[in-house]
Chain A
């Protein structure tokens, strides 16, 4: 019986619609505009970065000025304190901001999943930071976190705390982390919300019949069913956070000192301010490998724990 079903399905897949010639050319014609875009703006730059990583090139000297220098750039990276400092800052930024964003997003998602008056409006409000222009976000937080006249410090003053925020090498990175969390929580909550609505209702009913507590239901049903969503969010947020550039360029320019020179900004400085495009490409390549490893570790750490696995 099973064999017959598979054979029928196979026949269906290989049957052709009447009037269409078995040729792939038409298909290629339709996807050509998109394919050209991908080749021009993704594939060629990617390959270029890999090639340039093994060169010394200042861009201004043109293609004729490219000098291949073997693995010199990678040796220099290993000895570059600026690179390791930037890697350290990026790790702090990722390790603090990503889990906090996910946890707060989950809490908000669960809260918004309950019947609340004005729930749709609340969802929209929490999602807003994700879609607002980065310049507007930057300017708003710059005003809010002004050490002297900002609203944040006026509130904190009641507790005797007066952080320097963007004007302090100790507080600038925490300020950026706060902004990243604020910007990402709404997005996470929305993704979690859709996952929560797909959670198997019959399991909750069974748990209710068994008299399970709310915490037990969360631990045994909700969390395992949300695990694939959590992995997705962790992976995308890790990639996003390790590439964070816009707000840093806009607000701190990597400072004060080098307090917010994360790896993306360091790469930008190296390439676009110092015109060391070969070295910047090597940094990009090393960072790519690092992010890939971090992503795979995250994925592997949670594999097999989802409800459906």
Chain B
């Protein structure tokens, strides 16, 4: 058999073809291999609402086709989104959930300027409000718009509350929160999971910052650390050793459903665990109380959130804006099932009830308190707009809170360490170009 001998030219051609085959699919050119469909990236699974929003949008605007891609909203998922945006992947609209990422993306040319569109539309003028901001404004330019409103409230286990003979509060102070937790503590059930964010309630948005330094010298921060530590020590708040050892922060609902603790300061996204007794077995109704006040101040611990942004490289800006506006003004109703109230309202009470509380709301919830606390109240929500060193400060607060609530560090010492770390993070980040 005669062997075929390869010439140098043939070998080079072969290697070149192989390289091309390997490399070309990975590099889709300057336009990122753009498709005809509008590409939307979000962190909420399509089945939890976005899929229905997309469907409704396509019905109203048949000229547009939308493809929704879900990324996992954690460090790795956000990194994937960032690299995709930088690498020219076909993304027209995307969501940002963490404050740190919001500042970074808006300040790094990854968000289109929406100021003119927002200013020109009377329905959207509320996004220009800087007292209770619902948008992220970078150097005077609107770069991101909140799609959701997530107020905090305190949930009561009605069965245990009635057994303990405790009144359901219509308004209360942080001291009353503590005494109520004490009354509700039994041999089997701890009074509260943890304490609401005392400093946030007292100080409102941007509460970590004071000029070009941090604000952790404000006594409310130490008050919050001390309150949590004292309640854990006297057995009226959940032991922090258990929270850390069982990674309970991510699974609070399980301990609430099994009556390990009673008072639960949380937001609407956790209501989905409470209306499905087959999937999440429990035999009690849940009632709602507003967040407690601190020194007469009543900022809510929740916020406007789930920011929608348009990729400035998108060649389909008009379609992207149509989609953004649809989501903000009329399309967000399906998101109620994931516990996300539309940032602009625009939904009826019945829609909120059936969307957020399932098919049998009366069976699982005290509807009077729900109407009073969620539907009729207008809690003071805010969006942080100062975000210098935000991820570093978030970590410092978490680390020192853990040490304090484990009983290893005095609250005063812990908060002074937070202040030191936060000041350093702010100074370092403000030096950056």
Query: Across the interface, do A25 and B11 meet the contact criterion of CB distance under 8 Å?
Result: yes
Q: In the complex, what distance in Å separates the CA atom of A25 from the CA atom of B395?
A: 54
Within 8 A of B (CB), among A124-181: 142, 145-148, 150, 164-170
- Check if B188 is an interface residue, CB within 8 A of chain A: no
Given A36-B19, A164-B241, A275-B391 in contact, is the A61-B109 Cβ separation under 8 Å?
A: yes
Nearest-Cβ distance from residue A262 to partner chain B, whole angstroms: 15
- Check if A269 is an interface residue, CB within 8 A of chain B: yes
Query: Across the interface, do A23 and B247 meet the contact criterion of CB distance under 8 Å?
Result: no
Which residues does chain A contribute within 8 Å of B246, judged by CB atoms?
Answer: 142, 146
Which residues does chain A contribute within 8 Å of B100, judged by CB atoms?
Answer: 275
Within 8 A of B (CB), among A11-44: 19, 21, 23, 25-26, 28-29, 32-33, 36
Chain B interface helix/strand/loop/mixed: helix
- Contact among B108, B243, B244, B409 for A61, CB-based, below 8 A: B108
Query: Across the interface, do B240 and A60 meet the contact criterion of CB distance under 8 Å?
Result: no
Given A60-B82, A142-B247, A148-B242 in contact, is the A23-B8 Cβ separation under 8 Å?
A: yes
Which residues does chain B contribute within 8 Å of A59, judged by CB atoms?
Answer: 79, 82-83, 86
Which residues does chain B contribute within 8 Å of A288, judged by CB atoms?
Answer: none
Within 8 A of A (CB), among B1-48: 3, 5-6, 8, 11-12, 14-15, 18-19, 22
Q: In the complex, what distance in Å separates the CA atom of A168 from the CA atom of B408?
A: 8
Within 8 A of B (CB), among A233-278: 255-258, 269, 272-275
Q: In the complex, what distance in Å separates the CA atom of A62 from the CA atom of B104?
A: 12
Nearest-Cβ distance from residue B247 to partner chain A, whole angstroms: 7
Q: In the complex, what distance in Å separates the CA atom of A65 from the CA atom of B105?
A: 12
Given A29-B14, A255-B399 in contact, is the A60-B108 Cβ separation under 8 Å?
A: yes
Q: Write the chain A residue with the least CB distance to B244.
A: A167
Most A C-beta atoms less than 10 A away, residue of B86, B109, B244, B399: B244
- Total of A-B residue pairs, C-beta within 8 Å: 106
Which residues does chain B contribute within 8 Å of A146, judged by CB atoms?
Answer: 245-246
Report the count of interface residues on B (CB-CB < 8 A): 45
- Check if B197 is an interface residue, CB within 8 A of chain A: no
Q: Write the chain A residue with the least CB distance to B246.
A: A146
Query: Across the interface, do B244 and A255 meet the contact criterion of CB distance under 8 Å?
Result: yes
Query: Across the interface, do A166 and B402 meet the contact criterion of CB distance under 8 Å?
Result: no
- Check if A58 is an interface residue, CB within 8 A of chain B: yes
Query: Across the interface, do A56 and B433 meet the contact criterion of CB distance under 8 Å?
Result: yes
Within 8 A of A (CB), among B372-412: 391-392, 395, 398-400, 402-403, 406, 408-409
Report the count of interface residues on A (CB-CB < 8 A): 40
- Check if B56 is an interface residue, CB within 8 A of chain A: no
Nearest-Cβ distance from residue B227 to partner chain A, whole angstroms: 19
Within 8 A of B (CB), among A76-120: none
Query: Across the interface, do A167 and B403 meet the contact criterion of CB distance under 8 Å?
Result: no
Return the CB mask of B261-294 against A: 1 if under 8 Å, else 0. Answer: 0000000000000000000000000000000000
Which residues does chain A contribute within 8 Å of B347, judged by CB atoms?
Answer: none
Q: In the complex, what distance in Å separates the CA atom of A29 from the CA atom of B395?
A: 50
- Check if B350 is an interface residue, CB within 8 A of chain A: no
- Check if B129 is an interface residue, CB within 8 A of chain A: no
Within 8 A of A (CB), among B86-107: 86, 100, 104-105
Q: In the complex, what distance in Å separates the CA atom of A29 from the CA atom of B11?
A: 7
- Check if A48 is an interface residue, CB within 8 A of chain B: no
Q: In the complex, what distance in Å separates the CA atom of A169 from the CA atom of B243?
A: 14
Given A67-B433, A273-B75 in contact, is the A26-B241 Cβ separation under 8 Å?
A: no
Nearest-Cβ distance from residue B84 to partner chain A, whole angstroms: 11
Given A36-B19, A168-B241, A273-B75 in contact, is the A255-B402 Cβ separation under 8 Å?
A: yes
Which residues does chain A contribute within 8 Å of B403, judged by CB atoms?
Answer: 169, 256-257
Q: In the complex, what distance in Å separates the CA atom of A145 from the CA atom of B400?
A: 23
> What 6 pairs between A and B have smallest CB-CB spacing?
A167-B241, A25-B11, A167-B244, A61-B108, A60-B108, A167-B245
Q: List 26 A-B contacts (CB under 8 A).
A: A19-B3, A23-B11, A25-B11, A25-B12, A29-B18, A32-B19, A58-B104, A60-B85, A62-B86, A62-B109, A142-B246, A147-B245, A150-B245, A164-B406, A166-B245, A167-B243, A167-B244, A167-B245, A168-B241, A169-B406, A256-B244, A256-B399, A256-B408, A272-B79, A273-B75, A273-B395
Chain A contact residues, CB within 8 Å of chain B? 19, 21, 23, 25-26, 28-29, 32-33, 36, 56, 58-62, 65, 67, 142, 145-148, 150, 164-170, 255-258, 269, 272-275
Having A145-B245, A147-B245, one finds 6 other A-B pairs with CB under 8 Å, namely A19-B3, A29-B18, A33-B18, A59-B79, A142-B246, A148-B241
